[in-house]
Structure 1
Amino acid sequence: MTLSPDLVQTLTPLPVLIPMLAAAVTLVGGRRPRFQRAVTIAALAAGLTVSVVLLYLADRDGISSLQVGGWESPIGITLVVDRLSAIMLVVSYVVLLAVMGFAVGQGIHDGNERQPVSIFLPTYLALAAGISNAFLAGDLFNLFVGFEVLLAASFVLLTLGGSADRVRAGVSYVMVSMVSSLIFLIGIALAYGATGTLNMAQMALRLDDVPNGTRMAIYGVLLVAFGIKAAVFPLSTWLPDSYPTAPAPVTAVFAGLLTKVGVYAIIRAHTLLFPQGELDDVLLVCGLLTMIIGILGAIAQSDIKRLLSFTLVSHIGYMVFGIALSTQQGLSGAIYYVAHHIIVQTTLFLVVGLIERQAGSSSLRRLGGLAAASPVLAIVFLVPALNLGGIPPFSGFIGKIALLQAGAAHPSVLSWVLVAGGTITSLLTLYVVARVWTKAFWRARADAPEGDLADISPSALIDESEADIAYVDREDVGKMPALMLVPTFALVAVGIALTVFAGQIIAVTDRAATDLQDRSIYIDAVLGPNYSEQPAGNSGPPAESTEQATATGGDR
């Protein structure tokens, strides 16, 4: 069945509108937690359904674009759906829905005192809207708006509960994010000053006429802004101190999604606006350092949340590696690895929440015997942990092999250095997750250096600073509600599906990478195939009347 272009345009803004409207509804129903939860789950499920349809249409028909408010491109706000943005939307909504299921289970078990639903749910929906807006944005300023919605929502979620550690981490996070936003604004101003437009398709054409030095300066500023958001070394030091203090659902969705929005922005800028590859070597070096330094930081940690935060930073390096190769194979591998890492990293942070439930702590110095105490928990940790470590045949192994093959096929010596660095990082990642397994799951609890402290209330300690930041009240220890287990198992199943259907998924990422390398497909879909470019300083309408491409750009 062929869907009409009008239906395609109707669906395009829905991933943003549905969660935003649902956030307003949940605010109105703030005194009815059950109603709020039902609206939130329904909105996220609807967003996932729409995203799946958009991915199907983008893969079948090619790129589509929508001019919001009926303004002709490139004047108005443009929303663009291509294979890359549709893949990101689908994976994001899978994670958002699963984490919300986990959070609802936690909230039902704990009561609203621990997790103020009237605040959490609308903010979570606003976060979903900001993520979707960033993926669909067809102009730099709308991308900036998406980032700012993320910043506002994430600050509220990060400080939920108001503990000193969370507020301290939240302030640090906001300060770093504000610096990143300021740098992004400077980059937008420079790009607009050089090209006279904010529409990325039109900017891509006009940047070709900008002097090389100016173009590289604009690209460098944008890379710094996006690199902070993606936690690329040396701009990643903020992340391990910010994420571990948040509640388990918040940490999971942050770790899975927020840095990938920055990675997405790097991909879009690298392939559409600056495809010349002048800074590829810089990106390769940053990718290598991100891998190695991130995983060395993970080895030094004794708290599982901080350990996973460092592995998160480390594996961003793989994505940067694939992007910097500037080849179809490298981009395809990077896109597949982004999808894999979103699912696996989110799953592992949810598992840490379950570990806290079972044992009262996430510190390796206090854990032991979990495999015997809870075989279910052992399984739900082991599968994504092996996946993260890149053990065959899991998707982590498939993604890394794709990236390493792309690096080996690249003619530069630096790419071979990245191949070696990626291999070492993969082995060290396996060592890190094996260390967690042996200490938290395999050894006896009595052999843990502080095994007797995991169940003790902080008030019983002389120095409250000794209390673990991931502490769970004693009456909750040993209890894992089914409503928290089911979403975690669902994400484990999605991770396995990435392996089972790897061939079909990589076929889609191959087509997405091919589209990205031929930027004329994107430009024609947004501006129209007959668009006549004006000089860079002229922001008025084109000299020739053209048909705007508001439906599909088509495959070539």
Structure 2
Amino acid sequence: MNALVPLLVIIPLVGAAITLILGRYPRLQIAISVSALTAVTAAAAVLLTAVDETSRPIVVKVGGWEPPFGIVLVVDRLSAIMVVVSALMLLGVLIFAVGQGLADRDRDTPVSIFHPTYLILAAGLFGAFIAGDLFNMYVGFEMLLAASYVLLTLGGTGSRIRAGVTYVVVSLVSSLLFLGAIALIYGATGTVTMALLSERMRDLPLDIQMILCAALLVGFAVKAAVFPLSFWLPDSYPTAPAPVTAVFAGLLTKVGVYAVIRTDKLLFFDVPLAVPLLIVGGLTMVIGILGAIAQADVKRLLSFTLVSHIGYMIFGVAIGTELATGATIYYIVHHIMVQTALFLVVGLIERVGHSTSITRLGGLLKKAPFVAILFFLGALNLGGIPPFSGFLGKLGLFEAGAASPSPLVYVMIGAGTVTSLLTLYALMRVWNMAFWRPKEDVEGYESPLMESLQESPEQQNGSATGVATATGTTLSTSKLMVGATTGLVTLTLCLTVFAGPLFDLAQRAAGNVATPSNYVDSVFPKGSSDGTAPKGSSDGTAPEGSSDGTAPGGAP
């Protein structure tokens, strides 16, 4: 079983190398990429089943070197959940991208570049989730940065290059902050292995812990797009091709949220973070959704809703109880799936409606009823309408907040309720303008005769549905694109159908996270390298203050 852990990173890296060599054979590239992500999904599912049955993390000491001197990879319930969900989303988006490439004949996304870069991004993502030390988490982040810049600028258009430059500058600043925080932590404790840091951090004065915690959180907050460090996201993501935007929106910001949860529960559980995180989470919710309401472009609108809903996750982290952490994990899974699916739906809208601006869209309910259904389901889910997973996730967070009452928590519950309603308003505005409104009501509407003159002969014969670009090139949809989008929307519905078992799994994962001794004992089964037994682990109990499900110093 332990052999599967490094394969989560090795398989995508080997696949990236092979696809790079096979640049002239696009069909082989596709087969290798799909096979690699399918293998990772299967391996991650097996690991999740194993760690859930044993309730013990699986630890791999790379090269046989004992921690903290060697690299250690750790898979517990939380990291296994994140890898499984991420692999599923990456696989679904890859199928969409393959369909788009076949339809476009790879004009915008050259296959020879796309596939190896996409697999490197996957390897960095999985590596960050299973890293047992801060430096290798940083390495995973840097792999993401390098690959995401290439994906963001595919096609080489001016808008993509400008967005890519902004994205890279902000990401590099975030990486420098993260690396500086790692240097400070190493200087203060003499290690970057998280299991050992869990012990040594408590020996530091509280003010030093707070400084180290703040240094890490700022770096993670940029990557997670937490207000006010989220300014870069709405201008960066919408310019990329639809598959790239879907992956970025669904997954990349969640790496930052995962890092916040991991370090908060494992390293800084004595640091009082509740009040600042609640304030930041509330501002992220409100400012993000207000920005979404002001948008006329669907991609930018969804980018702002992405920022807004990060606030719900920060809210759950701020409460700090086991119940809140479980609800946060469920909400992360929900948001990854729904946000990814919605961006793929918008990719279909762009091709069917020739635009993503709601001022130029209309009549799509009649023209593309199936796309309308896909968008409507995603909108209701993201807006939190019962009985969808968006409602269940928010309800879980609000229940956790009500169980840890304080005036600020009640304000946050109110802000979360208003944000959910405004999210629904913004998305239903898109539905009304793009799908429900007749095409004839759109300003500048041209008659069907004029539109037919702009279409290709294939479209006039009914063999393709396309988008006429400014250069006269027609972009068509394909069955693979529609099928991949339908599959991801179906997965979002499964979060509702199987909400009970999934919530239970999330709560079990939260129980692991809330008990650092379980993690520490798995990495150091005979005690830490300095000869001391992990604190709180001698009797198998959680650290002081967490036995009742609350986070020491974290709950308001």
Give me the TM-score of the superposition, normalised by structure 1. Answer: 0.91
Q: Distance in 2 between matches of 1:471 and 1:299?
A: 27
Task: Report the Cα distance in structure 1 between the residues aligned to 2:169 and 2:438, rounded to whole angstroms.
Answer: 42
User: Partners in 2 of 1:448 and 1:104 — Cα distance?
Assistant: 33
What code does the residue aligned with 1:232 have?
A: V
Asked whether the equivalents of residues 65 and 81 of structure 1 are also in contact (C-alpha less than 8 Å), the reply is: yes
CA distance in 2, matches of 1:480, 1:185: 43
Residue 40 of structure 2 corresponds to 47
The answer to whether 1:516 aligns with 2:513 is yes
- 1:157-176 matches, cutoff 5 A: 157-176=151-170
Matched, 1:296 2:286: no
Q: Which residue of 2 aligns with 1:409?
A: 403
CA contact 1:361–1:470 (8 Å) conserved in 2: no
* Alpha-carbon shift at residue 346 of structure 1 (Å): 0.3
Q: 1:93-148, CA deviations, whole angstroms, 9 ceiling, x for partnerless residues? A: 01000000000001111113322000000000000000000000000000000000
Gap change, CA 1:222 and 1:452, over 3 Å in 2: farther
TM-aligned CA deviation for residue 326 of structure 1? 0.6
From 371, 374, 379, the equivalent of 2:373 is: 379
Once residues 91 and 223 of structure 2 are traced to their aligned partners in structure 1, the CA distance between those partners, rounded to angstroms, is: 23
- Match for residue 303 of structure 2 among 304, 309, 315: 309
Take 1:438 and 1:16, find their aligned partners in 2: how far apart are those partners? 44
1:553 is matched with which residue? none
State which of 75, 87, 91 in structure 1 corresponds to 2:85: 91
Q: Distance in 2 between matches of 1:114 and 1:305?
A: 18
Which digits, 9 at most, give the CA deviation of each residue in 1:286-312, with x for residues without a partner?
Answer: 000000000000000000000000000
CA, structure 1 residues 278+357, in 2 after alignment: closer, same or farther (shift >3 Å)?
Answer: same
Distance 1:366 1:358 in 2: 12
Is the aligned partner of 1:336 residue 2:330? Answer: yes
Residue segments in structure 2 that go unaligned for 5+ positions in a row:
455-466, 534-546, 548-556
Aligned-pair identity (%) = 57
Equivalent residue, structure 2, for 1:393: 387
Shift, 1:408, TM fit: 1.1
Task: Tell me how far 1:449 sits from its aligned partner.
Answer: 2.9
Map 1:229-308 onto structure 2 (within 5 A).
Answer: 229-308=223-302
Superposed displacement of residue 448, structure 1: 2.1
Task: Give the 3-state SS of the residue equivalent to 1:80 in structure 2.
Answer: strand
C-alpha displacement of 1:75: 1.2
- Specify the code of the residue in structure 1 equivalent to 2:474: D
Aligned to 1:461: none
**Deviation for aligned residue 1:193:** 0.6
Q: CA deviation at 1:532?
A: 4.3
State the shift of 1:471 in Å. 5.4
**Is residue 238–residue 300 contact of structure 2 (8 Å, CA) maintained in 1?**
yes
Amino acid at match of 2:481: M
Partner of 1:23: 16
- From 126, 129, 133, give the equivalent of 1:132: 126
Q: Secondary structure at the match of 1:208?
A: helix
What amino acid is aligned across from residue 445 of structure 1 in structure 2? K
Instruction: Verify the 8 A CA contact 2:57 2:519 in the aligned structure 1.
Output: yes
**Segments of 4+ in structure 1 off by > 4 A?**
450-457, 469-475
The one-letter code sitting in structure 1 at the alignment partner of 2:330 is Y
Aligned to 2:68: 74
- Change in CA separation of 1:452 and 1:338 when aligned onto 2, cut-off 3 Å: farther
CA positional deviation for 1:74: 1.7
**Residue-pair matches, total:** 519
Question: C-alpha offsets along residues 56-95 of structure 1, whole Å, 9 cap, x if unaligned?
Answer: 1111112111110100122111100000000000100010
The CA RMSD over aligned residues, in Å, is 1.9
Q: Which residue of 2 aligns with 1:462?
A: none
After TM superposition, give the deviation of residue 451 of structure 1 in Å: 4.5
2:474 maps to which of 468, 473, 476? 476
Return the letter of the residue paired with 1:481.
S
With 160-169 and 403-412 compared, the bigger mean Cα shift is at 403-412
Partner SS, residue 59 of structure 2: strand
- Correspondence 1:347 to 2:341: yes
Mark the CA change 1:336 to 1:441 in structure 2 (over 3 Å): closer, same or farther: same
Name the CA distance, whole Å, in 2 between partners of 1:473 and 1:303. Answer: 21
Correspondence 1:412-423 to 2 at 5 A? 412-423=406-417
Alignment of 1:7-18 (within 5 A): 8-18=1-11
SS in 1 for 2:74: strand
The equivalent of 2:484 in structure 1 is: 487
Q: Is the 8 A contact 2:334 2:495 kept in 1?
A: yes
Distance 1:207 1:510 in 2: 26
Task: Describe the shift of the 1:58–1:473 C-alpha distance in structure 2 as closer, same or farther (beyond 3 A).
Answer: farther
Residue 360 of structure 1 contacts residue 474 of structure 1 at CA under 8 Å; is this kept in 2?
Answer: no
**5+ unaligned residues in a row in structure 1: which ranges?**
1-7, 458-468, 535-541, 545-555
Q: 1:277 to 1:421 in 2, by over 3 A?
A: farther
1:370-427 deviation per Cα after TM superposition (whole angstroms, max 9, x unaligned): 0011111111111111100001111001001000111111132211111001000000
**Cα gap change, 1:333/1:207 in structure 2, threshold over 3 Å: closer, same or farther?**
same
Alignment of 1:99-118 (within 5 A): 99-118=93-112
1: CA distance, partners of 2:471 / 2:108: 11
Give runs of aligned pairs for residues 428-443 of structure 1, distance below 5 A.
Answer: 428-443=422-437
Quickly say closer, same or farther: Cα 1:475–1:155, change in 2 above 3 A. closer
2:543 aligns to what?
none
Give 1:359 deviation, angstroms: 1.1
Alignment CA distance shift 1:111-1:532 (3 Å): closer
SS in 1 for 2:73: strand
The Cα of 1:358 is off from its aligned counterpart by 0.3
Q: CA deviation at 1:276?
A: 1.7
1:166-245 to structure 2, matched below 5 A, reads 166-245=160-239
Deviates more, 1:163-172 or 1:70-79: 70-79
Please report how far the alpha carbon of residue 446 of structure 1 lies from its aligned counterpart in structure 2 after TM superposition. 2.1
For residues 413 and 524 of structure 2, the distance between their equivalents in structure 1, rounded to whole angstroms, comes to 39
Amino acid at match of 1:37: I
Name the SS of the counterpart of 2:256 in structure 1: helix
Q: Give secondary structure in 2 for the equivalent of 1:9.
A: coil
Question: CA 1:334–1:266 in structure 2 vs 1: closer, same or farther (change >3 Å)?
Answer: same
Structure-1 residue corresponding to 2:542? none
Contact 2:210–2:271, Cα closer than 8 Å, also in 1: no
Alignment CA distance shift 1:123-1:532 (3 Å): closer
CA contact (8 A) 2:75 2:130 kept: yes
Residues of 2 paired with 1:291 and 1:489: CA distance?
Answer: 28
- Superposition TM-score, scaled by structure 2 size: 0.91
Deviations 1:22-71 (A, max 9, x none): 00000111100000000000101111111111111111112111110100
Are the equivalent residues in 2 in contact too, given 1:322–1:334 (CA < 8 A)?
yes
Q: Is 1:504 aligned with 2:501?
A: yes
* Cα drift, residue 249 of structure 1: 0.3
Which amino acid is the alignment partner of residue 424 of structure 1? V
1:446 matched to which residue of 2?
A: 440
> Is the contact between residue 202 and residue 270 of structure 2 (CA under 8 Å) also seen in structure 1?
no
